Amino acid sequence: MTLRVFLMILTVAMIMGSAALFIRRILTIYHVMQKARPVNRTDRLGERIKSVLVQVGLHRRMFRISFSGLLHYFIFSGFIILLIDVVETLGEIFFPGFTVGPILAPLVDIWVILVAVGILMALYNRLVIKPERFHGSDEKDAFLILGLIGAIIVGIVIHDSFFPFVAPEVLHVADPVARAHFLGYAVSRLWVVLGWTGPTAASIGYAFGYLLDMGVVFAFLAYLPYSKHLHIFAAVPNIFWRNLEPAGQLVPKPIEDTMAIRTFEDLTWKDVADLYTCTECGRCQAVCPAHAAGQPLSPKMIILQLRDALNDRLADKNPNAEYPDLAGGVIAPEELWACTTCGACQEVCPVFIEHVPKIAGLRSALLEDGIVDPNAQKVLMSWDRQGNSFGQPGRKRPLWAKGIEVPIKDARKEPVDWLWFVGDFASYDPRVQHLTQLIAKMLTQAGVDFGILYESEVNSGNDALRIGEYGLFESLAQKNIDALSKAQYRRIFTTDPHSLNALKNEYPKFGFQAPVMHYTEAFLELIDQGRLVVSPVPIRVTYHDPCYLGRWNGITEAPRQLMARCGVHLVEMPRHGAQSFCCGAGGGRIWMDETGIADRPANQRIREALALPDIQFFTVACPKDVSMFSASVTAMGVEEKVRVVDIAEILAVAIGLQAESSLALMTV
């Protein structure tokens, strides 16, 4: 009886203590979330539940790294099985005679083994494999937690092994599941040999195992919300609250005042939840092009630095304490400006943390304080004054259309079927203009009735927004929307993924609605309608998915199918589709200083392509990519090995508009 009373009193004390600590912490975080900006993340219930089932139940994103995915699955499922053990163990003491039955009981033992395997795998991962992605994470905490989990499973086996003796002799009840707990039963044989089966020895042994199990469980509960393992509770709601709006939409609603993030109240409540959900797994860091380039940015550290700063402020009792600015203090300007807004971090994060909106908001704060790269500043001013990033007069925008044989309609003056939003690079960059002309000829060959906005088009504002310049984005958007609203057209067509993203995902908040198609989708349609007749171009290529086409807009199939229709043999790079690796140009990076870049992302990408067997062509579907990768190929001196071609050039050969010799490699 004394054993029961002793354990009951201790258990009640532990439950109350750990629950109090747990609740206090959760309430503190809840208060921060309450004061943060609103955002609607509780709509579309069905979709949300489904995504929780897929991402938690099936560990969809976790399994992208199979070893870690598997070890986590073992440990994660262990937590569910742990519930059976907790119910059983508490039941044994509080309601003598309680049992979970012969089916659930052995499950506990099976999972003890799986969890043990998981822990060993985790140790192997952290001590032997040592993935770079853990760099900067709190590894001590990780080991502590693994140790605690280890203690729990050891405790489980120990109390199960003594229970067959404690049950009849001390508690005076039967233990019908003694053998079902096969691990505990096996160990109990040892006690028989040692003669530790008497009431005193068994009681001591049982109490030890019970406390190792329950004690650590409740200590864990109290400690969790103060550590990265809060994700055990936070992951499910955070995945539930994930963004279901179009991924490419950075700002959901028109902003009245500013998008700058200066305090934690400028974050949305979901942003705050993100901070406490981060598991420090570093998957985002491992895919970040800026990090890979040797720049000081790690998306993981952005989250952790913000979280730590928030924790410091929460722990500080002094209401007048002064804290460093979030942008520029907690997070250095170099980190923030290094981001290409490629979105690889968000795509890979297993708990659906959204890094890019935070980075953009923090950038906006820097910008308001005038902390911005001088070249980027020049570009912002050119957008404001001339409407393009080239600092060229707006009048010169349609100059590429002069001197080609095909007529190009002025969509401001006459109705057209397709309105072509050309974009800055395709219009002004002399390295890209010939492609723009090629597209015009192909549209003409297909008999498409198309036109452009001539000098009424201005930059779409996609990059301005991602630099954090909301006001400029809005004024550019308004100019385009005005021009578009005066034109008559059925659909918008563009070669530029950045413009596509703005028109498709950022303009609707101003009431703009129109079907927008990327040229790869549009030309695929023309081929399938028989309006363009292709003959095969038997070349071996690899294809680079532009971030703003593939990842942010999910257009990964059209370019591949278009190439397949042209008879091209495509060999995929390891990183492709939504997992593509950024060229380094996005988010305004293309105009910023490159100091600190040890290894350009575009060069890394070309090396990735060169590692494939017999690839002669690196195909792209974005005007900026043509510039970026051609520059890399030249800088690396590999012109005779690989050539950067736009898919449009292949199509031009396939439809007989250009000779196949136009695709020859450079000969040195």
Partner 1 sequence: MKIAVLIKDVPDLVEELELTEEGRLAVDDMSFVPSEWDDQALEEALILKEGDAGSTVTAVAIDTGDVDNMLFTALAKGADRGVKLVGDFNREMSNRARAEVLAHYCHTEGFDLILTGVQAIDDLDGQIAGLVAGRLGAAHASVVRDVALGSTSVTCIQEYSGGKMAELRLTVPAVLGIQAAQKTPRYVTVSKVRQMQKSASLEEIEGESSEAPALEIRRLYPPVASSHAEMWGDDVEELADRIVNLLEEKKLLRS
Interaction site with ligand SF4 (CB under 6 A):
278-284, 287-290, 297, 299-300, 303, 339-345, 348-349, 351, 353, 355-356, 582
Q: How far is the CB of 276 from ligand SF4 (least distance, A)?
A: 11
299 binds, among partner 1, ligand SF4, none (CB under 5 to 8 A by kind): ligand SF4
Contact of residue 663 among partner 1, ligand SF4, none (CB under 5-8 Å per partner type): none
- State the Cα–Cα distance between residues 211 and 298, nearest whole angstrom: 41
446 binds, among ligand SF4, partner 1, none (CB under 5 to 8 A by kind): none
Please state the closest distance from residue 340 (CB atom) to partner 1, in A: 20
Q: Which is nearer to partner 1, 28 or 258 (CB)?
A: 258
Select 341 or 627, whichever has its Cβ closest to ligand SF4: 341
List, in sequence order, every residue forming a beta bridge with 451; answer none if it has no partner: 409, 419
Q: Of these partners, partner 1, ligand SF4, none, which one is at the site of residue 344 (CB under 5 to 8 Å by kind)? A: ligand SF4
CA distances from 374 to 38, 327, 379, 583 (A): 34, 18, 9, 22
**Cα dihedral sign, 603-605-607-609:** negative
Whether 274 contacts 303, CB under 8 Å? yes
Nearer to ligand SF4, 363 or 397 (CB): 363
Other beta carbons less than 10 A from residue 620's beta carbon: 26
Q: How far is the CB of 216 from partner 1 (least distance, A)?
A: 53
Tell me how far, at minimum, the Cβ of 590 lies from partner 1, in Å: 18
User: What minimum distance in Å lies between the beta carbon of 373 and ligand SF4?
Assistant: 15
Residue 356 contact partner, candidates ligand SF4, partner 1, none, CB within 5 to 8 A by sort of partner: ligand SF4
Contact indicator for 8, 171 with CB cutoff of 8 Å: no
Residue 124 burial (CB count, 10 A): 13
Closest distance to partner 1 from the beta carbon of 436 (Å)? 22
Closest to ligand SF4 by CB, 59 vs 159, is: 59
User: Helix, strand, coil: what percent of the chain each, to 5?
Assistant: 60, 5, 35
Helix, strand counts (H, E) of the chain = 27, 9
Report in angstroms how near the CB of residue 286 gets to ligand SF4 at its nearest.
8
* Of 62 and 207, CB closest to ligand SF4: 62
281 binds, among ligand SF4, partner 1, none (CB under 5 to 8 A by kind): ligand SF4
Distance CA 555, CA 546 (A): 9
Pick 378 or 540: Cβ nearer partner 1: 378
Q: For residues 107 and 578, which CB has a smaller minimum distance to ligand SF4 in the complex? A: 578
DSSP string computed for 464-488 = HHHHT-HHHHHHHHHHHHHHHHHS-
Neighbour-count burial for 541-579, b at 16+ CB within 10 Å, e otherwise? bbbbbbbbbbbbbebbebbbebbebbebebeebebbebb
Nearest-10 Cα torsion for 473, 477, 480, 485? -170
Which one-letter amino acid corresponds to residue 612?
A: L
SS3 92: helix
DSSP assigned state of 628: H
What are the DSSP E strand ranges found in 59-214? Answer: none
280 binds, among partner 1, ligand SF4, none (CB under 5 to 8 A by kind): ligand SF4
Look at residue 474 and give the partner it binds from partner 1, ligand SF4, none, a contact being a CB closer than 5 to 8 Å depending on partner kind: partner 1
Least CB distance from residue 550 to ligand SF4, whole Å?
Answer: 13
Would you say 297 or 590 has its CB closer to ligand SF4? Answer: 297
Nearer to ligand SF4 among residue 340 and residue 619 (C-beta): 340
User: Where do the DSSP E strands lie in 118-170?
Assistant: none
Distance between CA 293 and CA 374 in Å, rounded?
A: 21
Pick one of ligand SF4, partner 1, none as the site partner of residue 342 (Cβ within 5 to 8 A by kind): ligand SF4
Contact 210, 7 (CB under 8 A): yes
Residues making contact with partner 1 (CB under 8 A): 257-258, 364, 367-368, 370, 372, 374, 377, 380-382, 384-386, 391-393, 395, 469-472, 474-475
CB of 359 vs ligand SF4, minimal distance in Å: 6
Report what 606 binds from ligand SF4, partner 1, none; CB cut-off 5-8 Å by kind: none
Q: Other CB atoms closer than 10 Å to residue 667's CB: what's the count?
A: 6
Q: Give the residue with the Cβ less far from ligand SF4, 90 or 288.
A: 288
- How many of the other CB atoms lie within 10 Å of CB of 27? 9
Residue whose CB is less far from ligand SF4, 100 or 290: 290
Q: What are phi and psi of 300, to 5 degrees?
A: -60, -45
Q: Which is nearer to partner 1, 455 or 525 (CB)?
A: 455
Write down the least CB distance from residue 92 to ligand SF4, Å. Answer: 37
- Residue 376 CB, nearest approach to partner 1 (Å): 9
Residue 339 binds: one of partner 1, ligand SF4, none (C-beta under 5 to 8 A by kind): ligand SF4
Partner that binds at residue 384, options ligand SF4, partner 1, none, CB closer than 5 to 8 Å by kind: partner 1
CB 304 within 8 A of CB 136: yes
In the bound complex, what is the minimum distance in angstroms from residue 357's beta carbon to partner 1?
A: 17
Contact 8, 93 (CB under 8 A): yes
Distances in whole angstroms, Cα of residue 297 to Cα of each of 116, 300, 305, 345, 463 = 35, 9, 12, 12, 19
